[in-house]
């Protein structure tokens, strides 16, 4: 096959010179992303929010139905929007023992609390004793926005299907 010169007509039939048509597209095309690094694990995301807490960075991000956030006091939490469950993953910058077990098929999480946004406050209820408390300085506005985005993205049926009996 002959090489196409930059100043020759583009073989696509556009009538433009090759350098102003398909050659330009080839140069600006994004390189393919490596597939082997594409797997996202919940443990890895928990590690990211724990690192932010340890560094004293206030951060909030979403992954599927989960919301992760760290606070000024260097605590970090993970929320499950499908069942409104919560678990603390760092306290005063120290990562807490992983309460997540995951493999290729399942993820198991030992949730410690349930949560609700109420009067611009993030309220937590302990699963063991039912004690309720407000999580001070929680980014409730941003959590509420994340909840809305997730609820728009996933139907109630999809959210229920996430959980195995």
For residue 160, is pLDDT > 50?
yes
Q: Which of 118, 122, 96 lies closest to 109, judged by CA?
A: 96
Contacts of 101 (CB under 8 A, 6+ apart): 107, 108, 109
For residue 140, is pLDDT > 70?
yes
E strands along the chain, which residues? 59-63, 66-70, 76-80, 85-91, 94-95, 100-102, 107-109, 113-118, 121-126, 132-134
Q: Check: CB of residue 43 under 8 Å from CB of residue 100.
A: yes
Rounded CA-CA distance 159/157 in Å is: 5
**For the residues 113-123, what does the mean pLDDT come to?**
95
Length of the chain measured in residues: 165
Write down the H helix ranges in the chain: 22-28, 42-54, 140-153, 156-161
Which band of pLDDT confidence, cut at 50, 70 and 90, is reported for residue 161? confident
Q: Tens of pLDDT along 3-57?
A: 778 888 877 777 888 788 877 666 555 554 444 444 568 889 999 999 999 999 9
Q: Which of 89, 90, 129 lies closest to 109, judged by CA?
A: 89
Rounded CA-CA distance 108/162 in Å is: 11
More confidently predicted of 5 and 138: 138
Distance of CA 48 to the CA centre of its chain: 10
């Amino acid at each position: 096959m002959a090489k196409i010169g930059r100043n020759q007509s583009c073989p696509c039939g556009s009538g433009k010179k090759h350098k102003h048509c398909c050659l330009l597209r080839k140069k600006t095309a994004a390189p393919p992303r490596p597939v082997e690094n594409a797997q996202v694990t919940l443990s890895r995301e928990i590690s990211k929010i724990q690192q932010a807490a340890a560094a004293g960075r206030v951060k909030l991000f979403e992954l599927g139905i989960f919301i992760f956030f760290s606070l000024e006091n260097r605590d970090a939490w993970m929320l499950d929007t499908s069942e409104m469950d919560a678990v603390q993953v760092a306290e005063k910058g120290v990562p807490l023992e992983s309460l997540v077990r995951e493999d290729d098929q399942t993820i198991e999480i030992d949730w410690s609390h349930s949560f609700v946004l109420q009067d611009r406050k993030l309220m937590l209820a302990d699963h063991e004793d039912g004690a309720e408390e407000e999580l001070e300085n929680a980014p409730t506005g941003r959590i509420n926005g994340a909840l809305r985005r997730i609820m728009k993205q996933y139907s109630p049926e999809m959210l229920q299907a996430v959980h195995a009996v």
